[in-house]
Each structure stands twice: as structure tokens, then as C-alpha cells.
Structure 1
Amino acid sequence: MYTENDSRLANQLLTHSVELKKGQKILIQCIGLNAVGLVRALAQQVREIGAHPFLKIEDPEINRMMLESGDEEYWKSQAETDQLPLMKQMDAFIGIRASENIYENSSVSKTANKAYSDHFLNPVHFEERVNHTNWAVLRYPSAAFAMNAKMSTERFRDFYYDSCLFDYNKLKEAMKPLEKMLRATDKIHLKGEGTDIEFSVKGQNWIPCYGKRNIPDGELFSSPILDSVNGHITYAPSVYQGKPFEFVKLVVENGVVTDFDSSNNSALEEILATDEGARRFGEFSFGLNPIIKNPMYDILFDEKITGSNHLTLGKDYEIAPNGNESAIHWDLVCIGADVYFDGELIRKGREFVKDELKVLNPGELLHE
């Protein structure tokens, strides 16, 4: 019916991540059919809690067909008739991304993606789900997923559950000194191979993430002051809107991307042309999951890489705003840059060097 690991993961999602209570309503969305076991475990445990599951199982190929053919009228209808009224009734949401082909949507045009983002994704998910439900999203392991991680299927499956079922309460405590320090910081400077970029976070809100929203988790995020970002930055491999990028390099002046290079410049140019905010940044974060060490073309994992930061193109989060209202939100990850707070070295490469922050290094977090 389902595995013991799926039962453990379902329990963590329901009791720790979304904190589901008796009588509440939860929407469980599964995109892809190979995660049905986890959906079964979730549905059974939701009923055992005394809550009410609403199930939505979707086929990735049908979704791609709808993305390719969808326009503003179609997505407005989908949002207003079906998903927005349903989401407004939900107390919680769990989204399982179980597609086995991360490039499924690579042929979807810029115009079609923008129609979907503007008239479905933003109103249903960014505005309603993110702000008004207890939610969590996650991927699900598969042979294709393991291939992108350059691991055997068995090894990847073990890695997946280890990183998802990590002791997030321990991480929560370990993040507190870094959060305190960040709240007192004005300028952050990242310097490493292909990267030399600086920006202000003065007065910004900081959000520690320890298994409540994204699984696997392990990050501490805010947003940079919109026009304060200056310098250049080089990112690790990424996939966005189904389009692969082996690298992305950006040059930034007063918060705006003025030049760029990548392994797919035509696609990057289209993304940057989405709207005015697409050339600006809406999030900055520290990746802190000690299990995750290398990029694997999946942002829910890659943005948590220990010793990494992501400086995100596009829309901010309402909980840590900076005024960027773009239709895109592209978490691009920079790994191993030295990090300075107001001129003081805080992290050398991937290891924190300040005594009070050494608890965040993998050797400490994984030590029993």
C-alpha cells in the first residue's frame, strides 16, 4: 500500500509542517503518478487526525498540454471557477511534485508561461495559498530524479529520506544566532569564483525555515533592498520553467541586471524580459541543510545546499517584502562564496567561521 518511509514522511508533513488539526480541510495535490503511495499514507493519516482531505492527482503531460494551449481567458476561468474558491476554503495544503521528467515543460512559450503565472499561479498559490494556509511542497524520488543527482536509484532514495526527515528542531535552534546577527546587519557581501556582489538588508525581516514549508528544508531568508544590489554573481546549474541552464552569470547595477551570460542565453533573455521585476531580486537566503551538498537540477533541494546562498530573480514574499511584484520567482543558487556582514568575514567558502555560527556547519548539525 505504501512504505514505512512514506508513512514517516506523511506523519512529519501533517504534524510538523502543516500542523493539521481535527476538523480542518487540507488540499493534497500530487503532480505525477509515482507518488501515489505517499498520497495514500497522507489520506489515511488525515482521516485518523479527524481532518478532511481533498485530493487532486494530476498527470504532468496533460498539465504540459494545458500550459502550451492556455491563455489569459483559460487560466482566469480555471482560477476563478475551480481552484481559487477551493483554496479559500482550505486550512492546509501539501503539494507533491512527482513528475519524472524535469524538462516536461521546456517547450512552453514565454507568452503561455506568463498567462499561467499572472492569472493562475499568482492568485491561487502566491496570493491565496502562501498567505492564508499552512502549506508544504516537496518532490518525490524516482529513477529519473536519481539520474539528475548522479546517484544510483537506491542511494538516491536513502539520500532523499535522510534530507527530508532531518532533525529540523535541532536546525531551528542552530539558526537563532545567525538570524540575530542578520537582523543587525546592513551590508552583505558575497565574494568567490565568478562572484563579487554586495547589497543591503538593513531593517529587513528574516524567516527561518525548518521543515514547515519546503521539504527538504533548511534555509534562512529575507529580501535585499531593491535598488541596493551591485556587482556580479555566478550561479550553479538550474532548471526554470522546464529549461536547463548549466550556469548563469549576472551583472547588476543598482538592483537591475544589466548584462548576463549563460548556457542558454535565448531562454534567459526571455525570462528577464517577462516584466520589470524579472531583472530585479526578490529574495536572499542561506542554504543550511547539512545532508545536501551538490546541485541536482531541483531547486527544492539545491536552494538548501549547505554553504550556499540564493539571490532570487523576481517576486518577493509578502512575509519578507522588498516591493518586487514580478510574475517570476527564480531561485538561483551560488555555492561556496565567502560571506561578509558589514565587512566582517562570517563564512569562509562553505564553513561558518564565527564561533557562535559554527553550530550550523555540517559536522556540528550531524553530530549526535
Structure 2
Amino acid sequence: MYSNEDQQLAKKILNYSCELQEGQNVMLQLVGLNGIGLLRALVEETRAMNAHPFVQIEDTEIQRVLAETGDKAFWKNQAKVDQLPLMKNMDAFVGIRASLNIYEQANVSKKANKAYADYFADPVHFKERVNNTNWVVLRYPSEAFAMNARMPTQKFREFYYKACLLDYSELEEAMKPLQSRLEETDKIQLKGEGTDIEFSVKGQTWIPCFGKRNIPDGELFSSPIRSSVNGHISYAPSVYQGKPFEFVKLEVRDGVVIDFESSDDESLEEILDTDAGARQFGEFSFGLNPIIEEPMYDILFDEKIYGSNHLTLGNDYEIAPNGNESNIHWDLVCIGADVYLDGEKVREGRTFIADDLKGLNPEKLLQ
């Protein structure tokens, strides 16, 4: 059995996000057992479309054991024998993240994380899945997820489906004036409490996101000219590789992090020392989902917070590149900074004030 909301979500994922066609192959991956209802709905909807579901159900504690014990040889073999050949035959991919404990892999070592990233995640997901399938990833609601969002469970479920089932075609239209401006912009400045940073995006590619790759969605991203990033920036709470950070502050000179402060400096330093690209930035984005207001320790939601930006440490995306290569990609989120495009203030706090951009404010999108 599954809920009516899961049925609606399954239809949106397959028809709108993945654009699944008759006869195509789709991998349906459930990480954690909590989202089994949505998985059932996806399987039924896939078969109703006369397409072919390939189902993977992964237990998060087993995944923790594999992450803790896996080395180069193990992950290379896993990719070669199992996942990479299968992924090469997929037309679409749906990844449901349904873990009940976001800190499950908090004790996995840096060496083990690097082995997984280099020899499994990179060839299977970043190179094959991202570049050659119509893919979408999402989290699934739970009591634990609601607790991180500081909401009662039922209220959180209502919020979750409202954010996920947003009219993305309307959001797509509302993004167009901002994309047009950004395509003509050289310098971006963010100014707010604990934040005063600037960088160039001259000539960079801007990608609007409206429910095709993430659910929920609502962002417009590119990447900064690497050496142009200068200043300091303060980020909201975040979790990376199972490690929680209540705050992160970075000082940047000529595109490289030269100093930092956080609630866990030891773990942050370890992440920054992953490789040379980990101290540089591979993405910059505007968060634009009008339903999502506050951070909840889940980046698929937090990076979409309206009135936010994320200036991302690590690897760029091939679709909007700046040449930064790294084994990390950490979407740290800055909420409520004023935004200046070539010296013109276009957003004050979380509210767009330029006339052509006011359609992105929640009161307009949700009216």
C-alpha cells in the first residue's frame, strides 16, 4: 500500500522529472527502508507506462559497514562487477534517500570516504549516471527528518509534499528574468551578517532547476571564476559525510580558503584537506523554493531555501564548469545576504527588490 501523496509524487517524478518513455529502463534506488511506499508507487507507475523498473533496496546500516570497511580494491570491484554495467543500461534513475539517521556514517574515515568517492561514486554516479541518464534524487519524510526540521511529524509531512509537489512550470517562468540578468553579469557581491564576499561570473553558464533533477527543487546555478572569489562568508547549519556543523565561516583570497572557523574545526580541516580543489569553489546558486524557509540539515532541502545562496566547496558540474576538480562537493548555504549584481542591489535580505525579479518572492509565487 501507499498514500495518495506518494502516488502523486511517483507520477510527477516519472512523467515530469525523468520524462520516462515506454520501453525505457529506470533504476529505482531506495536507501533506507522508510520510503517503501513511494518505491511501490514508482514500480506500479513504471509498469503502467510499460517501462522497465530495476529495483535496488539498500539498508543504511549495511551501507555503513561497507563504507567503513571498503577500500580502493573493494569499491573498484563493486563498480566494475555490479553498478557500472547496470547504470550503463539505464535511461533514467530515481534515488530515494530514506535514512532514519543522517549521522549513520559519521565515523567513516577520511581514507575510506576517499576510496568510495574515487572508485565508486565518481565512475558510477558523477560520470555515468549524471551525464547519461534522466535522473532525480529526493529525501523521504520521517519522524527523524521532522525532528531535524523542528516540526511535528504530521506538519512536516504536509510541508514535505507541498514543497515537492510545487508547480515547477510556474517557478521555471519566474526564474527567467533572473537568469537573463545573470547571463549579462560580471561581478556578484553578497553582503550580510558575517558575510562580505565577491566574485566574477562573467561568461559563465547558468542552469535553472525546476524539478528535473532534485525533488524538491528551485535553484539557479552556475560557477564562479575560480580565482575571483575574495572575502568572507558565513553559512547556516549543515551536515557533510555524516558530520554535523552548526556553523561554518570561511575567509577566501583569490579563490582559495585561507582561514576558517566552525563548530567542528578538526572535521572541517579534514574536509578542506581532501585535495587542492576542496579549498576552492565549484558552484554558486540562488535558492528559490518559496515553501522552504529554514535549514533542516538536509541539503536537498536547504540549498533550495528562498532568499539563500550556496557557494559550494569542491567539484564543479560539467554542465556549468569552472575547471575545479575535487572529490568533495559541499553545498554550504548562506541565508539572507543582500545580493548585488554589478553594483546594483537586487535582493535585500531574502526579498528581491528589483522590479523584474519580484515574481520570485513567495507572496507572488504562492498567490
Give the shorter-chain TM-score range. Answer: over 0.9
Q: Which residue of 2 aligns with 1:133?
A: 133
Q: Which residue of 1 aligns with 2:338?
A: 338
Q: Which residue of 1 aligns with 2:217?
A: 217
Partner Cα distance (2:254, 2:139) in 1: 35
What pairs up with 1:1-368 in 2 under 5 angstroms? Answer: 1-367=1-367
Counterpart of 2:154, as a letter, is E
Partner Cα distance (2:166, 2:236) in 1: 24
Counterpart of 1:13, as a letter, is I
1:192 Cα offset (Å): 0.2
Give the structure-1-normalised TM-score. Answer: 0.99
1:95 Cα offset (Å): 0.1
Counterpart of 1:210, as a letter, is F
1:80 Cα offset (Å): 1.0
Secondary structure of 1:290 counterpart: coil
The CA deviation string for residues 302-332 of structure 1, in whole angstroms up to 9 with x for no partner, is 0000000000000000000000110000000
Partner Cα distance (1:158, 1:144) in 2: 15
1:351 Cα offset (Å): 0.3
Counterpart of 1:239, as a letter, is V
Partner Cα distance (1:177, 1:229) in 2: 25
Partner Cα distance (1:13, 1:164) in 2: 10
Q: How many residues align?
A: 367
Partner Cα distance (2:226, 2:29) in 1: 34
Partner Cα distance (2:294, 2:334) in 1: 11
The CA deviation string for residues 8-57 of structure 1, in whole angstroms up to 9 with x for no partner, is 00000000000000000000100000101100000000001010000000
Secondary structure of 1:227 counterpart: helix
The CA deviation string for residues 80-109 of structure 1, in whole angstroms up to 9 with x for no partner, is 111111101100000000000000000001
Counterpart of 2:160, as a letter, is Y
The CA deviation string for residues 59-100 of structure 1, in whole angstroms up to 9 with x for no partner, is 000001100000000000011111111101100000000000
Partner Cα distance (1:214, 1:22) in 2: 22
Counterpart of 2:13, as a letter, is L
- Percent sequence identity over aligned pairs: 70
The CA deviation string for residues 125-163 of structure 1, in whole angstroms up to 9 with x for no partner, is 111101100000000000000000000000000000000
Partner Cα distance (1:239, 1:28) in 2: 25
Secondary structure of 1:7 counterpart: helix
The CA deviation string for residues 259-278 of structure 1, in whole angstroms up to 9 with x for no partner, is 00000000000000000000
Partner Cα distance (2:275, 2:195) in 1: 25
Runs ≥4 in structure 1, deviation > 2 angstroms? none
Counterpart of 1:21, as a letter, is Q
Partner Cα distance (2:124, 2:223) in 1: 22
Secondary structure of 1:57 counterpart: strand
Partner Cα distance (2:192, 2:121) in 1: 35
Secondary structure of 1:321 counterpart: coil
The CA deviation string for residues 112-131 of structure 1, in whole angstroms up to 9 with x for no partner, is 00110011111111111011
Partner Cα distance (1:49, 1:276) in 2: 46
Partner Cα distance (2:88, 2:316) in 1: 22
Unaligned 5+ runs, structure 2? none
Secondary structure of 1:188 counterpart: strand
Partner Cα distance (2:333, 2:229) in 1: 16
Partner Cα distance (1:106, 1:61) in 2: 12
- Could you say what the CA RMSD is over the residues aligned between the two structures, in angstroms? 0.4
Partner Cα distance (2:270, 2:84) in 1: 28
